[in-house]
Amino acid sequence: MVYNKGTVAAHVDDLQALKGVGPKLSNELNKYGVFCYKQIANWSDYNVAEFSERLNCFKNRIERDRWIPQASAMECSDLP
């Protein structure tokens, strides 16, 4: 699933805390409806491929910078 553009976030995480995500990529992710670590933590191979193309990332940036494991760890650290 690729998230919808214009989605209103119920919860917003600081996506720039992920290695390799700066202000520009964070804004692009938000534009495509990605606002929280949990969304990235649950990405499938399809999501990785779609977002790599849509974000015009450096080749394999999502995998190289380990966005999914980082997001999973951050999601867990946010729990009370």
Please list, in sequence order, all residues whose beta carbon lies within 8 angstroms of the beta carbon of residue 47, skipping any fewer than 6 positions away.
1, 2
Please state the domain extents for the chain. 15-77
pLDDT, mean over the chain: 84
CB of 29 closer than 8 Å to CB of 71: no
Q: How confident is the model at residue 77 (pLDDT cuts 50, 70, 90)?
A: low
Residue-level pLDDT at 5: 53
What is d(CA 72, CA 51) in angstroms, rounded to the nearest whole number? 17
* Euclidean distance between CA atoms 30 and 21, whole angstroms: 12
pLDDT (tens digit per residue) in 22-59: 999 999 999 888 999 999 999 999 999 988 888 876 67
In the prediction, which pLDDT does 1 show? 44
Rounded Cα gap, residues 1 and 51, in angstroms? 11
SS3 8: coil
pLDDT given for residue 69 in this prediction: 96
pLDDT at residue 9, rounded to an integer:
63
How many helices (H) does the chain have, and how many strands (E)? 5, 0
pTM of the model: 0.82
